[in-house]
Homo-oligomer: A and B are copies of this chain.
Amino acid sequence: MPPDNVQLRAGKRNASANFRALSIREPRAIMLAMTSTTVSAKGPFAGTPEFEKNLDRLAEVAVRAGLGLAPGQELVMTATLDSAPLARLIIEHAYKAGASLVTTLFSDEQSALLRFRYAPDPSFDAAPAWLYEGMAQAYRNGAARLAITGNNPSLLSKEDPEKVSRLNRATSKAYRPALELITRHEINWTIIACATPEWAAAVFPDLPQDEALARLWTAIFAASRADQPDPLAAWKKHDAHLHARADMLNQKRYSALHFRGPGTDLRVGLADDHLWLGGGTTAGNGRYCIPNMPTEEVFTTPHKDRVDGRVTSTKPLSHQGTMIEEISVRFDAG
């Protein structure tokens, strides 16, 4: 049964489509919704030695722990224009780890907005299938995949939601062959975060911009273990911990989970043969990777007919350039 009540402050029309799409873990980094409103000498990058060290460690841990890049392996990276300094550090660490070739596809939020402002109507059903097919070809030939995310979470909030929806559909369709190689874990891949002023302002609305940005970076470094003395060892330990947690939950064989909180009283029945997963995984190409960095997640499969009650999101959700607030959904027998 679909959700019966989705309250949105923006992007109202395609609300249920938005909600159902949330389970996709691969961000469409190249497609849309990337930040570039503040191209400055350092962009969203402060210049203290401590910051530089953390940023370098973030890049190294992304390549070595997140991606598990093999010597001689090709890397396809997507990045926002504003994340170029971080992208360059990743390029450095990828080549140091033996990459044969690193190709970076930069995206630009301002360019995305220009499309909404000036493109003729049929443009919103178009997508660069040739580029996505090229990426899929690179994966089939052995390339790894790294995405740097970080955007303006409200980039498309003022755009026509029908055009946003059509563009997302066209892009999803064109991107599917490449995305399937990712979601089926046929190759090693990971996603890391780059702070942006707009994201920082959404998270810390009461702080001055510089301070908000610094706070967001601090949070990213902490969650990504880039601020640890030995981030690779920290990730090894954390990954083992996530696997131990999943193992413990698998031994418990719970029949249902009961969530309670503000606006939430939800009983989620679990599938009969459900399996808990979390942390790193060995991809089809044999490389061990940790697909999201940071990750604290262990996850499993609900029973399709046994979800009952109401769940309310206490935080806003940025989905494909639109901020969705006060999401509240009631489920009745699934």
Contact = CB atoms under 8 A, between A and B. Distances in A.
A81 B39 CA distance: 10
A33 to B, nearest CB: 15
A128 interface: yes
22 contacts: A39-B84, A40-B41, A72-B120, A74-B126, A81-B84, A87-B111, A88-B108, A88-B114, A91-B114, A91-B115, A95-B120, A96-B118, A100-B120, A101-B126, A105-B105, A128-B138, A130-B138, A130-B143, A131-B131, A131-B134, A131-B138, A134-B137
B100 A122 contact: yes
A5 to B, nearest CB: 36
B126 A100 contact: yes
A172 B280 CA distance: 39
B91 A122 contact: no
A128 B111 contact: no
A119 interface: yes
Interface string A48-91: 00000000000000000000000110100000010010011001
Interface in A126-176: 126-128, 130-131, 133-135, 137-138, 141, 143
Contact of A100 (B88, B104, B123): B123
A232 interface: no
Nearest to A42: B39
Number of this chain's copies in the assembly equals: 2
A188 interface: no
A15 interface: no
Interface in A172-200: none
Contact of A127 (B43, B96, B101): B101
A268 interface: no
A103 B131 contact: yes
A322 interface: no
A26 interface: no
A244 B120 CA distance: 37
A123 B104 contact: no
Given A101-B123, A101-B127, A130-B138, 5 more contacts: A98-B120, A99-B120, A99-B123, A134-B134, A134-B137
Contacts of A135: 130
A327 interface: no
